Amino acid sequence: MLCGIFAGITWALETVILGIALSMSPFVSGAEGIFLAPFVSTFIHDGVSALLLLGANGIRGRLKEIFGICKTKTFRLLVLSSAIGGPVGMTGYVLAVNYMGPSVGAVASAIYPAIGAVLAYVFLKEKIKWYQWIFLFCTLLGVWGLSYSPDLDIKNFRVGLLGVFMCSFGWGTEGVILSKCMREKGIKSGDALQLRQIVSVLIYGLIIIPCLRGVNFTARLFSAANIPVMVTIAIAAFFATVSYLLYYRAISQVGTAKAMGLNITYTAWAMLFSVVLMHEYGILNFKTISCAVLVVVCGVLAAVDFKELLKKEYT
């Protein structure tokens, strides 16, 4: 439970710091930088995270065990979850943060437990109760309400909303697959995360960025003039890595639904850090705070089966 909560706190820090990086040059200077910002920043972000994990696992002598998973059948499931959670989920999240702002993007993306419940209903044939559909509707209503606060600086709500649904689909699906791998296949949370980040970086570096013709732009970021933005992304990646490790451990110990519910407390922390670090006082109004509470509370409740919960509580 503590892992899930601290995963939320560190992810909130990552969100705000990444928002600062996205507001720096060259991501805001020119049409190319604005368009490529979500994709290139995520590539660098996950690349730094993968290197940090490689270093830590190398010191611990775990690289042989980690890459040994590549020979198992479970590896295919991990690659699938990595592709969905990284390039789809993380790109969507950065789109939301970039076009809706760190605080609103964080809150809006908190619908992923609810979307995860819907995906489980469609693909895993898990039943959804009538009250869960109501909570899901209220969650979406809260996201819609966030776009109508005049004090918020939202660049493009439609693009941000697209990012929210990409993020929710990616992370919701990833959580279900990871829980299956770690519970049924005995995969350790840290090993799964290492493979996830490597797969994500390879997909970005070999497929997405070349297809978007962003190789030259990405290469220019590694010049001396762009050291500040690179350092900022690296700091965000550090907090993201810590958050991922805690979140994956929470999934393995308390299950997907509870881990998601604890993790989305990052929305409240992101609003707090946005005020303290970025001075976004526009979010301190009744309407924004009410919509944020609606999204977080209903997002958690939409993923909870109260009948099943009470059954476990009394057995």
More confident residue, 93 or 129: 93
CB proximity list for 97: less than 8 A, separation 6 or greater = 15, 18, 19, 22, 105, 106, 163
Separation CA 192–CA 181 (nearest Å): 9
Asked whether the predicted pLDDT for residue 264 surpasses 90, the reply is no
Say what the pTM is: 0.78
Average pLDDT, rounded, for the chain:
81
3-state helix, strand, coil in the chain (%, to 5): 85, 0, 15
What pLDDT, on a 0 to 100 scale, did the predictor assign at position 124? 57
Q: What is the pLDDT of residue 40?
A: 92
- The answer to whether 277 and 16 have CB atoms below 8 angstroms apart is yes
Phi first, then psi: what are they for 93, rounded to 5°?
A: -65, -45
- Which H or E element spans position 247? helix 227-254
Lowest mean pLDDT among 16-30, 129-143, 201-215, 232-246: 129-143
- Of all helices (H) and strands (E), which one includes residue 93? helix 91-100
pLDDT of residue 125: 61
Q: What percent of the chain has pLDDT over 90?
A: 16
Q: Among 56-60, 141-145, 199-203, 244-248, where is mean pLDDT lowest?
A: 141-145
Query: What range defines the domain where residue 22 resides?
Result: 2-313
What is the distance between the alpha carbons of residues 302 and 279, in angstroms, rounded to a whole number? 32
Domains: count for the chain? 1
Please say if the pLDDT value at position 315 is more than 60: no
Rg of the chain (C-alpha set): 19
Instruction: Output the pLDDT for position 130.
Output: 79
* Cα 291 to Cα 212: distance, rounded to the nearest angstrom: 35
Question: Please, which pLDDT band fits residue 274 given cuts at 50, 70 and 90?
Answer: confident
pLDDT tens column, 292-303: 788 777 766 766
Decide if 256 contacts 272 (C-beta within 8 A): no
Angle, vertex CA 55, rays to CA 24 and CA 3, nearest 5: 75
pLDDT for 15? 85
> For residue 74, what are the contacts with CB-CB under 8 A and spacing of at least 6?
181, 185, 187
